[in-house]
Chains A and B, each alone.
Chain A
Amino acid sequence: NAGVTQTPKFQVLKTGQSMTLQCAQDMNHEYMSWYRQDPGMGLRLIHYSVGAGITDQGEVPNGYNVSRSTTEDFPLRLLSAAPSQTSVYFCASRRTVGDNQPQHFGDGTRLSIL
């Protein structure tokens, strides 16, 4: 059972570079989301999707784009990386929005912007 798979696990970028963080789930979950975790803080929601073709902004969306062309995949794009985007990024999924089932999290991508 793969669950939620994130790649890469680690990445170092230079300021201004672009990058896509990959997230895939094999549980046929409708809802997927991206969070960032900074030292001493809880996870903060970046973007989420309630199904293929539908995305919406979370608490900290600036500097990030997402798309959801398939149920399985929910990539997060940084178009022009900035040092303030140095963080640990987590992808999560849950079956659907309406049934209160908990989210399942990936193991994270540790991103450093120089």
Chain B
Amino acid sequence: GQQLNQSPQSMFIQEGEDVSMNCTSSSIFNTWLWYKQDPGEGPVLLIALYKAGELTSNGRLTAQFGITRKDSFLNISASIPSDVGIYFCVASGTYKYIFGTGTRLKVLA
């Protein structure tokens, strides 16, 4: 099936640092989303992107929908310990979500 290439797979960062992660696809999508998953819980929506080139912020999080519609990135500024978790990019087709493999973020206080 279709796959998304998400990188990096994991990151260890110091509290206060900025974080960047990205996602690429070989196919074009009309919607990109970023979810966060905490241990033992389901994914929770962080940001949804609906237009190529769109740049959207949610607090310390900023995400962009690539111009080619084949990629997206997520930035987290001034990381804090509660940012720890797994971040998934998701490309949305009409009926189906396609998930990236996730970026596991660990923040060292």
A binds B: yes
Task: Report A's interface with B, CB cutoff 8 A.
Answer: 4, 33, 35, 40-45, 48, 50, 56, 58-59, 90, 92, 97-98, 100, 102-108
User: Closest Cβ of chain A: how far from B109's Cβ, in Å?
Assistant: 26
Q: Which residue of A lies closest to B94 (CB)?
A: A97
User: Closest Cβ of chain B: how far from A60's Cβ, in Å?
Assistant: 8
Task: Give chain B residues whose Cβ lies under 8 Å from the Cβ of A107.
Answer: 40-42
| Contacts beyond the supplied A42-B88, A59-B96, A97-B94: 17 A-B pairs with Cβ under 8 Å | A35-B99, A41-B101, A42-B4, A42-B6, A42-B99, A42-B100, A44-B1, A45-B97, A48-B95, A92-B42, A92-B97, A98-B94, A102-B33, A102-B48, A105-B43, A106-B42, A108-B40
Instruction: Annotate B41-53 by CB proximity to A: 1 below 8 A, 0 otherwise.
Output: 1111100101000
Task: Report B's interface with A, CB cutoff 8 A.
Answer: 1, 4, 6, 30-31, 33, 35, 40-45, 48, 50, 88, 92, 94-97, 99-102
Compute how far the CA of A47 lies from the CA of B4 in the bound complex, rounded to whole angstroms: 20
User: Closest Cβ of chain A: how far from B47's Cβ, in Å?
Assistant: 10
Task: Give chain A residues whose Cβ lies under 8 Å from the Cβ of B43.
Answer: 43, 90, 105
- CB within 8 A of A44: which of B35, B41, B92, B99? B99
Compute how far the CA of A97 lies from the CA of B41 in the bound complex, rounded to whole angstroms: 24
Inter-chain contact A105/B102, CB cutoff 8 Å:
no
